[in-house]
């Protein structure tokens, strides 16, 4: 893929799951020349949505010859991305010391759950456990049970996005220093960072340390979801007084008590819920379509790509017969190409192409 803002940047992505391939996908869609390295028998899924937009090659990193091939790629790369447990790449002979000696300009990006050091660094985990110890998981759910928003918080938000942010920051810094560096991206660090506002509000006495006791966690009736007559739901985000007034007007309600008076929230919620239960989701969506009430239909994965606004913006595309989100964000001069299928490639062909362009960016 060429033409995006990262055109000319060469990336070696060591095959992993979750945040690493998502970051690799985003780098490729931004225009970087990314090659994904899988292990023999690794079952590279050339149609997987997170593998799209870049080729995949196979190397056995325990084999000295294949390891040397990888290091030759590293010599000509700008970035290496890996998601193994701490110490694994060092034992394989492709750790940061070895790679950065071969290429001092290399940005060596490491994605882990717990980080490269600390008491839990070598412990297994997943998004839900990383979010759990940072307080992020505690923020979401019902009053009696925390609930995870699938694996968006630590894996993709606190993981891949911070990994990508670290890579791009290191590339910018390299323009000044001429030197690469190691990026230690830990999902616990990112998940905690995402909760910065809530820690600040809690410290200032503006956030109760319990779920459904606050404005943004389902405690307030004007920031919640409601079941409609057809069993489907609408989302309400009428935080500001003028939006709340538009909501009540649209529902035909006149409620006693102030919007931010928590004492009246239960009564207000009951009235709003009863009103929404009188029509279907789509009827309410049409009713509020041209208002500032901040009401939207809660759409399923099957429904969302057909929403007129998303269709107008080409938010979704079809790749290998599967509807998937398109590249984001958008650029005025260097637009990303539409998402494309993954493919397999001979690693020696990639190496030969990269050797023609000896100097990394």
Just list the catalytic residues. 126, 155
* 306: Cβ contacts below 8 Å, ≥ 6 apart: none
Kindly tell me the burial class for residue 295, based on how many C-beta atoms sit within 10 Å of its own C-beta (0-12, 13-18, 19 or more).
buried
Compute the distance between CA of residue 33 and CA of residue 114 in angstroms, rounded to an integer: 29
**Hey, what long-range contacts does 234-237 have (CB within 8 A, 24 or more apart)?**
234/276, 234/281, 234/284, 234/285, 234/295, 234/296, 234/297, 234/298, 235/295, 235/296, 235/297, 235/298, 236/272, 236/293, 236/294, 236/295, 237/294, 237/295, 237/296
Compute the distance between CA of residue 280 and CA of residue 309 in angstroms, rounded to an integer: 20
| DSSP result, 165-191 | HHHHHHHHHHHHHS---EEEEEHHHHH
């Amino acid at each position: 893929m060429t033409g995006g803002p990262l055109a000319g940047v060469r990336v070696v992505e060591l095959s992993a799951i979750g945040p690493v391939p998502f970051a690799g996908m985003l780098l490729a869609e931004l225009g970087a020349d990314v090659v994904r390295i899988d292990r023999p028998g690794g079952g590279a899924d050339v149609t997987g949505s997170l593998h799209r937009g870049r080729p995949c090659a196979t190397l056995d990193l325990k084999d000295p010859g294949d390891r040397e091939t990888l290091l030759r790629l590293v010599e000509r790369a700008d970035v290496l991305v890996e998601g193994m447990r701490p110490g694994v790449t060092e034992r394989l002979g492709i750790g940061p010391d070895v790679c950065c000696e071969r290429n001092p300009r290399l940005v060596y990006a490491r994605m882990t759950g717990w980080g490269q050091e600390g008491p839990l660094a070598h412990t297994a985990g997943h998004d839900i456990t990383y979010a759990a110890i940072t307080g992020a998981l505690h923020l979401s759910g019902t009053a009696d049970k925390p609930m995870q928003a699938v694996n968006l918080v630590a894996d993709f938000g606190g993981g891949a996005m911070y990994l990508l942010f670290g890579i791009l920051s290191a590339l910018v810094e390299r323009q000044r220093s001429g030197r690469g560096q190691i990026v230690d991206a830990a999902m616990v660090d990112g998940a905690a960072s995402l909760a910065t506002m809530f820690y600040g509000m809690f410290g200032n006495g503006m956030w109760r340390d319990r779920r459904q006791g606050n404005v943004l966690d389902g405690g307030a009736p004007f920031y919640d979801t409601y079941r409609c007559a057809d069993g489907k739901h609408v989302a309400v985000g009428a935080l500001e007084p003028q939006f709340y007034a538009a909501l009540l007007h649209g529902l035909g309600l006149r409620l006693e008590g102030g919007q931010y008076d928590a004492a009246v929230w239960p009564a207000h919620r009951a009235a709003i819920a009863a009103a929404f239960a009188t029509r279907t989701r789509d009827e309410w969506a049409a009713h509020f379509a041209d208002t500032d009430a901040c009401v939207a239909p809660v759409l399923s994965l099957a429904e969302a790509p057909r929403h007129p606004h998303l269709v107008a913006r080409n938010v979704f595309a079809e790749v290998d017969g599967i509807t998937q989100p398109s590249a984001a964000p958008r650029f005025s001069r260097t637009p990303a190409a539409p998402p494309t299928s993954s493919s397999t490639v001979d690693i020696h062909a990639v190496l030969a192409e990269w050797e023609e362009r000896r100097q990394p960016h």
